[in-house]
Structure 1
C-alpha cells in the first residue's frame, strides 16, 4: 500500500485541513491537521485517525504507523520550530 492510498482512505473518512503521509519501508508516518482536534485528548486524536485504517491494520496491509494530530495553530508552530 502506498502513501496515496493511505491518504485516500483518510480523506474519504475524516474531515481534515491537511493530511500528510510518508513511508519509510513498512513504517508510515501520518500527520493530520484540523481544528476538530482542539480540546481532544491525544488518545482520542489517534483513535480518530486510526479508525478508518483499522481494517488495513488488522489484515496486515499496514504494519507500523506513527500518527501526529495537530490543530491549525499547533501545526503552524510545529512547522516554524521543526521546519
Structure 2
C-alpha cells in the first residue's frame, strides 16, 4: 500500500484535523487527530481507525498498523509538553 492510500482510507471514514503516516509496503504507523475521538476511550479510537482497514488486514495487503489517535486538544497538550525551551 502507498501512504496516499492510507490517508484516503482514513479521510473517507473519519473527519480528521490531521493525518500523519509513516511506513512502507504493508507496515505503517498512523497518527490521526480528530474531534470525533472526544468521547471515546483509547481502545474505541483505535478500533475506529483500524475499521478503515479491516478488508486490507483480512486479506494480507496490510500486515501491521500502529495507531495513535488524539483529539485536537490532546494533541496540543501533547506537543506543548514535549517542547523544550532553550534560554540563551
Tell me if TM exceeds 0.5: yes
The separation in 1 between residues aligned to 2:13 and 2:26, in whole angstroms, is: 22
Say which one has the larger Rg: 2
Q: Shift of residue 43 of structure 1? A: 1.0
TM-score (norm 1): 0.88
Alignment of 1:1-83 (within 5 A): 1-23=1-23, 26-80=26-80, 81=82
C-alpha distance 56-25 of structure 1, shift in aligned 2 (>3 A): closer
Gaps of 5+ in 2: none
The separation in 2 between residues aligned to 1:82 and 1:63, in whole angstroms, is: 33
Gaps of 5+ in 1: none
RMSD of Structure 2 on Structure 1 (CA):
1.8
Q: Shift of residue 25 of structure 1? A: 5.9
Greater share of helix: 1
